[in-house]
């Protein structure tokens, strides 16, 4: 199932990016948000499980990694807690480009002081 979803996401993302790059004004804000959501969904499919365990006691805050086989054995014991975490894809350091409409909204949002006086950003 994940393979079919991943292939569909790859194809759909490629088509939307191609359309966006060919005619930048053709993609509206909803389509841009859908593209971003699809990219995040694709990244979530690449998450790997991390198996962890710890002794069940009040002072135990430390979790230790273990293999899947160890996890299955630990989960059968009453004095041990287990959990599964998933790796997260690295977050982008540089924000995505914004279009003119988003830039104008940003200036409108950030460019006016509380008392309604335009700032330098608003006058430019």
DSSP string, 63-81: -EEE-HHHHHHHTT-TTEE
Same-domain check for residues 41 and 53: no
What's the half-sphere exposure (Cβ side, CA atoms, 13 Å) at 3?
0
Same-domain check for residues 61 and 41: no
Same-domain check for residues 33 and 74: no
pLDDT tens, position by position, 65-87: 999 999 999 999 999 999 999 88
- The fraction of the chain above a pLDDT of 90, given in percent, is 23
Task: Please tell me the predicted confidence (pLDDT) of residue 54.
Answer: 93
pLDDT tens, position by position, 11-50: 988 888 888 888 767 667 787 888 888 888 887 777 789 9
Range of the domain at 101: 97-124
Rounded mean pLDDT of 57-71?
Answer: 89
* Count of structural domains within the chain: 3
Same-domain check for residues 33 and 10: yes
Same-domain check for residues 24 and 55: no
Task: Please tell me the predicted confidence (pLDDT) of residue 78.
Answer: 92
């Amino acid at each position: 199932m994940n393979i079919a979803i991943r292939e569909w996401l790859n194809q759909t993302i490629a088509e939307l990016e191609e359309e966006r790059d060919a005619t930048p004004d053709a993609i509206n804000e909803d389509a841009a948000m859908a593209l971003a959501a699809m990219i995040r969904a694709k990244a979530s499919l690449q998450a790997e499980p991390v198996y962890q365990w710890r002794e069940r006691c009040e002072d135990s805050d430390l979790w230790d990694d273990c293999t899947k086989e160890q996890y299955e054995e630990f989960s059968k014991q009453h004095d041990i807690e287990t959990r599964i975490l998933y790796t997260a894809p690295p977050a982008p350091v540089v924000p995505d480009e914004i279009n003119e409409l988003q830039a104008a909204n940003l200036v409108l949002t950030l460019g006016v002081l509380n008392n309604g006086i335009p700032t330098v950003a608003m006058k430019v």
